Structure 1
Amino acid sequence: MRKLFFTILFLITITFNGQSIEKKNNNSEKQKVVATFREIYWNNLPKPKGWVNDYEGIFSDNEERKLDSIITNFEKETSIEIAVVTIDTIKVAKENFDDLSLHIAKTWAFGKKGKDNGILISFSKGYKKFRVELGDGTIKMLSEHETKEIIENDFIPKFLKGNYYQGMLDGIMKIIENLRAKIKKE
């Protein structure tokens, strides 16, 4: 009886250890696949489909159209281009979010040639990460300090409540308001 007990215990131990090794191998394989996917995404960014590129599916079609319309009207008025991209966690590791945002800004090259007057707003709901990239021409009108205040006071409060559309709308409207005021002074 004792021998049978130890035999069963031995088999259970082998089974659990075998499953642990198999899980480690599966996790390692998944990590390799994800890393490869992220590298392919980095090297083959999709072309922007408009001013709002919602790859996380945060906004409804109607919300996307409203944001796009506001940005389009502002661009026609001022030539300043504002783009929004939401980034799904599968596309980038959390620690590389800022790098991907900058890479998208450089690759998509929002802003008029010679004016460098683009702004890219990058957001990941999954990572709770947010970044605003300002072109060299835009940073002359909207300082990093002002941008930080807009992020903290206009975007983030609504995001924290889960109202991503309203936060994005409020933040974009505040950026537009500040830029209009600066343009009037010129």
Structure 2
Amino acid sequence: MKKYTVLFFLLLVTIGATGQTNKKLKTNSTKENLTEYRQIFWNNLPKRVNWTTDYEGIFSDAEEEKLNNLISNFEKETSMEIAIVTIDTIKVAKENFDDLSLHIAKTWAVGKKGKDNGILIGFSKEYRKIRIELGDGTIKILSEKETKEIIENNFIPEFLKGSYYQGILNGTTKLMEVLRMKIKQ
């Protein structure tokens, strides 16, 4: 009887150890797959189809259309281009969010060639991060201090209420208002 108890105990220990090893391997494999997916996304960014790219699925179709129309009208009026991209946690690690925003702005070539007058608004609801990338031509018109104030006063208050579309709309509208005023000066 003791012999069977010892064998049974050894069998349980062996199964338990094997199960833990497989679980650990599976976890590492998942992390490696996510890292690989993020690298593939970085290397093969999809082309921008419109002014708004919503990878997080935050906006309704009507909201996205309203943002696209607002930006399109602004671009026709000023020649300045604004792109909005929401970035989910699958696409980037939190610590690389700013780098990806800049990479998207450069890859999508937001702004007119030779004028470098683009703006990319990168946002992640899940990471609670927003980044505004300004083209070299736009930096001459809009300072980083002004951009920071627009984020704090126009984007963030609505985000804190969970109104992400309204925050993006308010902030984008304020950016356009400030740029129009500065262009006229």
Deviations 1:40-85 (A, max 9, x none): 1111100001000111111000000001111011111111100001
Q: In the alignment, which residue of structure 2 is the partner of 1:56? A: 56
Indicate how the Cα distance of structure 1 residues 16 and 62 shifts in structure 2: closer, same or farther if over 3 A, else same: same
TM-score under structure 1 normalisation? 0.93
- Residue 4 of structure 1 deviates from its aligned partner by 5.7
Q: What SS does the corresponding residue of 1:92 show, helix, strand or coil?
A: coil
Distance 1:69 1:141 in 2: 23
Which structure 2 residue ranges, 5 or more long, are not aligned?
none
Q: In the alignment, which residue of structure 1 is the partner of 2:179? A: 179
Q: In the alignment, which residue of structure 1 is the partner of 2:26? A: 26
Distance 1:9 1:158 in 2: 59
Q: In the alignment, which residue of structure 2 is the partner of 1:37? A: 37
- Residue 6 of structure 1 deviates from its aligned partner by 5.3
Deviations 1:86-119 (A, max 9, x none): 1121111111111111111111011111111000
- Residue 12 of structure 1 deviates from its aligned partner by 3.3
Taking the TM superposition and a 5 Å limit, the aligned residue runs for 1:1-186 are: 7-185=7-185
- Residue 2 of structure 1 deviates from its aligned partner by 6.4
- Residue 9 of structure 1 deviates from its aligned partner by 4.3
- Residue 176 of structure 1 deviates from its aligned partner by 0.7
Q: Give the share of equivalent positions with the same residue, in percent.
A: 64
Deviations 1:8-30 (A, max 9, x none): 44443333322221111001111
TM-score under structure 2 normalisation? 0.94
Q: Number of paired residues?
A: 185
Q: What SS does the corresponding residue of 2:123 show, helix, strand or coil?
A: strand
Q: What SS does the corresponding residue of 1:89 show, helix, strand or coil?
A: coil
Deviations 1:111-144 (A, max 9, x none): 1111110000001112222100000111111100
Which structure 1 residue ranges, 5 or more long, are not aligned?
none
Structure 2 letter corresponding to 1:26: K
Structure 2 letter corresponding to 1:90: I
Q: Which of 28-37 and 107-116 deviates more?
A: 28-37
Distance 2:167 2:124 in 1: 13
Q: What SS does the corresponding residue of 1:91 show, helix, strand or coil?
A: coil
Q: What SS does the corresponding residue of 2:127 show, helix, strand or coil?
A: coil
